[in-house]
Structure 1
Amino acid sequence: MIHSISAIAQKTEVITLQIADGPFKPTLQSLTNYHCPDWFRNAKFGIWAHWGPQAVPMAGDWYARNMYIQGQRQYEHHLTNYGHPSVHGYKDIIPLWKAEKWDPEKLMELYKKAGARYFVSMGVHHDNFDLWNSTYHKWNAVNMGPKRDVVGEWQKAAKKLGLKFGVSEHLGASFTWFQPSHGSDKTGPKAGIPYDGANPTYYDLYHPPADPDDKDWYSKNPQWQREWFMRIKDLVDKYHPDLLYTDGAVPFHNEVGLSLIAHLYNSDLNRNHGVNQVVYTCKQQSEGRWVEDLERGVMGKINPFPWQTDTSIGDWYYNKNWKFRPVSWVIHMLIDIVSK
């Protein structure tokens, strides 16, 4: 069916979104009819590969943003190892991510042996680089970098061993997150020289400049909201994940995000003869409409609805200077989570 909504930026604009036929509509009331599947309630433990081009510098999370902020540790790292971001930007990091030693089947065997019941692949981070054969975005892992369908290969390995398969999307925040790439040094010999993100040639990676009042986690730009919907719907429709994670609240706090959730639920019902088997999880209280996620945190008490913690033994992207957490920390946290 076709569902038309209005997303408001500087002016009201109607965005037409197509979602799968089914009982779920893009409203909070409709989503109260969702029931979390038993497989997720019983799984207890999954493993997530938070991996992509930002791992190349081995300098930790948010590299693609912080390398454009003078004074940040990652800016200094980039300047020393790759050059000034007015010339050598994140676009030049992407080809260095070749994944030449990546063996998803061998890794999945290790994950299953460790006790994982489900596996989650990075789909796209805030860096606006899709790790699948994207229909709508040329900056993807099949076109460049490793030139492999990272999501597809992870999925094949997980399914071969009987693990449920999920994908994570961090794309909604990308528009405002990447805006420092349009800036320049404030001091020094290159003060005022624009970074490479200011070059319109690369707006499809770094995004166009945001409006002055568009600074929140989720952009108010309706064109961006529609692009997000089309790309994440493409991810859902191509891979039919058992779980979809959003890094943030329901995207854009409006019917664009709710439409994607409704599409995910309806398309899953259509594939599974009316029995829901899919999980959507994000960082927003849900009262059972989806699975609430707590990044690096836990519930303070037993919760009547299923929930999820996502955490890491180190930085989110590989950081060679990070001291990893001990095994005892992992075990104690898992016990605490499962008990609630």
Structure 2
Amino acid sequence: MTIHEEYLQKIDKVIEQGPYKDDWDSLAGRMMPTWMREGKLGIFIHWGPYSVPGFGSEWYSRNMYIEGSPEYEHHIQTYGPHKDFGYKDFIPSFKAEQFDPHAWADIFAQSGARYVVPVAEHHDGFQMYKSDISEWNAAEMGPKRDVLGELKNAFEEKGLTLGASSHRVEHWFFMGHGKKFDSDVKEPLERGDFYWPAMSESDHHDLFSEPIPTQEFLEDWLVRCCEIVDRYQPEQFYFDWWIQHSSVKPYLKKFAAYYYNQALQWEKEVTICYKHDAFPFGTATVDIERGKFAEVQPFFWQTDTAIARNSWCWTENNTFKSPESLVRELVDIVSKNGVMLLNVGPKPDGSISAEDQSVLKGIGDWLAVNGEAIYQTSVWRQASEGPAEIPEGQFTDGTDVNYTAEDFSFTCRGKHLYAINMNWPENGEVTIRSLANQVASHLPVFHGIIEDVEIIGYEEVEWSRDEQGLHVRKTGIETKMPIVIKITLD
């Protein structure tokens, strides 16, 4: 019996014995875990052989085989013909000489993050963990280290919750362009080959695009995902978009049932994060890539975005968001019942760039002072007020939102309401109109008693309340970061 056959039998047995079955009704009612709802901020990590060329993006392994693309031309000019130097030939250079999981854990903990989700396997098919399924993994090639395992140990020492991400399903078509010319992606390709199956790529990747993944490929996908679950016990399992394909659905249900049943044995709260409508609503956690909702939602959700605007992995030409803009995004997302998974792309040697570290430090410094307005908070009666226009949907993080001094986001916890000003004015005076003092018959947003008002990190704040709103005055504040007004209610 092969490893795959043994694992498939194990999966069926766990599902048969566990309370969760591989049908959507059985999988319903899955809430975002408490540690995630309260932690609010996580770190995503894209790191692999694609970091070695450091050109274009983490999709280099696909694009380098598309004739005429910038990656194709760059590859020939830099490394030579594809038949002589293909994507697999980057692996020996992926040595990770400076990879220190404890240093990473320190950086992420200081950023204020509460959980970390490394990409265990990207579309390129290289496993960043020790595997019995394939030799094409970081423990046997490249770094020759169990990257995910070492990170798990280091994160646990820092109190960071471990997640894991699999993008394996897109490998069905990811290397297919390499078959169209003389490259190292050559037939015959069989399971166990690095490039297998390298099928042709649909123009749209829709729900029923062809060629449809085979049973052999999908069983291999399922076994790989379950191996990650059993070996590392991640408390979040993140999937990229193509799991929504019609052919994947039966295997997706099997994975979810297996994962949720195994988590019961671990006595851990876990979740699966998905995009679009790959899962029926309520069976896993909604995720929006590089975007968010414009309004508060009645359900918990996650956005995954990146410090770099142009790529998820490290490249020579990354452009970086500022810590100020990312803190504003975090505040806005939390006020709308969401959490943020923020991506970092380490360099091929395993170091984290100075630019990434600077951004993470800026976020961490702000959270060290103002974290009570973020961690363990809930949504208020409304998420925000002000004129800022918030774009909705995925891939809307290309430019910063134009926040003004009139823009506030709200969170609350216990007897405290936090009104977070997104752009403190030079004159030091703001008005929170949602807290206007009106008679109850006018049905204001807020009709309670305000006991005290302060600005976190500052002293001697002046405040008053009338029919126009809650007026707060504090001069001498010079920062581009959001300012947290802490309102104590009686």
TM-score range, shorter chain: 0.7 to 0.9
Contact kept? 1:19, 1:259, Cα under 8 Å: no
Aligned to 1:31: 27
Counterpart-to-counterpart distance in 2, 1:47 and 1:299: 20
Alpha-carbon distance change, 165 to 123 in structure 1, aligned in 2, over 3 angstroms: same
Counterpart-to-counterpart distance in 1, 2:30 and 2:63: 39
Contact kept? 1:19, 1:260, Cα under 8 Å: no
Alpha-carbon distance change, 335 to 211 in structure 1, aligned in 2, over 3 angstroms: closer
Instruction: Select the residue among 224, 229, 235 that pairs with 2:222.
Output: 229
Alpha-carbon distance change, 252 to 109 in structure 1, aligned in 2, over 3 angstroms: same
Counterpart-to-counterpart distance in 2, 1:135 and 1:262: 22
Aligned to 2:125: 128
Alpha-carbon distance change, 160 to 213 in structure 1, aligned in 2, over 3 angstroms: closer
Contact kept? 1:281, 1:292, Cα under 8 Å: yes
**Deviation string for 1:233-277 (max 9, x for gaps)?**
1111111111110011545441101110111101001221xxx50
* Aligned partner letter, 1:284: H
Aligned to 1:3: none
Aligned to 2:260: 265
Counterpart-to-counterpart distance in 2, 1:125 and 1:46: 19
Instruction: Select the residue among 131, 139, 164 that pairs with 1:142.
Output: 139
**Deviation string for 1:193-216 (max 9, x for gaps)?**
x21111436871111353798984
Matched, 1:210 2:199: yes
Aligned to 2:85: 88
- Counting only pairs closer than 5 Å after superposition, residues 69-80 of structure 1 correspond to structure 2 as 69-80=66-77
Matched, 1:154 2:154: no
Contact kept? 1:133, 1:140, Cα under 8 Å: yes
Matched, 1:299 2:288: no
- Which deviates more from structure 2 when the two are superposed, residues 112-121 or residues 284-293? 284-293
Aligned to 2:474: none
TM-score, with normalisation over the residues of structure 2? 0.61
* Aligned partner letter, 1:230: V
Q: CA deviation at 1:69?
A: 0.7
Size of the aligned set, in residue pairs, is 314
Counterpart-to-counterpart distance in 2, 1:116 and 1:94: 30
Aligned to 1:290: 284
Alpha-carbon distance change, 214 to 200 in structure 1, aligned in 2, over 3 angstroms: farther
Contact kept? 1:183, 1:198, Cα under 8 Å: no
Q: CA deviation at 1:34?
A: 2.2
Which segments of 5 or more consecutive residues in structure 1 lack a partner in the other structure?
A: 1-14, 185-193
Contact kept? 1:249, 1:284, Cα under 8 Å: no
Contact kept? 1:121, 1:151, Cα under 8 Å: yes
Contact kept? 1:19, 1:262, Cα under 8 Å: no
Counterpart-to-counterpart distance in 2, 1:77 and 1:235: 34
Contact kept? 1:295, 1:309, Cα under 8 Å: yes
- Which deviates more from structure 2 when the two are superposed, residues 246-255 or residues 203-212? 203-212
- Structure whose residues are more often helix by fraction: 1
Matched, 1:241 2:229: no
Counterpart-to-counterpart distance in 2, 1:289 and 1:249: 17
* Aligned partner letter, 1:242: E
Aligned to 1:181: 178
Aligned to 1:310: 304
Contact kept? 2:175, 2:199, Cα under 8 Å: no
Q: Aligned with 1:321: secondary structure?
A: coil
**Deviation string for 1:45-102 (max 9, x for gaps)?**
0111111110001112200000101111111221122111122101101111000111
Q: Aligned with 1:207: secondary structure?
A: coil
* Aligned partner letter, 2:175: F
- Which deviates more from structure 2 when the two are superposed, residues 244-253 or residues 219-228? 244-253
Aligned to 1:47: 43
Alpha-carbon distance change, 215 to 227 in structure 1, aligned in 2, over 3 angstroms: farther
- Which deviates more from structure 2 when the two are superposed, residues 223-232 or residues 71-80? 71-80
Counterpart-to-counterpart distance in 2, 1:142 and 1:238: 14
Which segments of 5 or more consecutive residues in structure 2 lack a partner in the other structure?
A: 1-7, 337-490
Counterpart-to-counterpart distance in 2, 1:90 and 1:215: 24
* Aligned partner letter, 1:197: V
Identity score, percent: 36
Counterpart-to-counterpart distance in 1, 2:139 and 2:27: 35
Alpha-carbon distance change, 27 to 209 in structure 1, aligned in 2, over 3 angstroms: same
Counterpart-to-counterpart distance in 2, 1:339 and 1:213: 38
Contact kept? 2:174, 2:201, Cα under 8 Å: no
Q: Aligned with 2:291: secondary structure?
A: coil
- Which deviates more from structure 2 when the two are superposed, residues 300-309 or residues 196-205? 196-205
Counterpart-to-counterpart distance in 1, 2:29 and 2:189: 45
**Deviation string for 1:111-136 (max 9, x for gaps)?**
10110000111100000011111111
Alpha-carbon distance change, 281 to 212 in structure 1, aligned in 2, over 3 angstroms: closer
Contact kept? 1:97, 1:146, Cα under 8 Å: yes
Matched, 1:332 2:339: no
Instruction: Select the residue among 277, 281, 285 that pairs with 2:273.
Output: 281
Alpha-carbon distance change, 209 to 62 in structure 1, aligned in 2, over 3 angstroms: closer
Q: Aligned with 2:288: secondary structure?
A: strand
Matched, 1:62 2:55: no
TM-score, with normalisation over the residues of structure 1? 0.87
Task: State the structure with more CA Rg.
Answer: 2
Q: Aligned with 2:241: secondary structure?
A: coil
Instruction: Select the residue among 154, 160, 164 that pairs with 1:163.
Output: 160
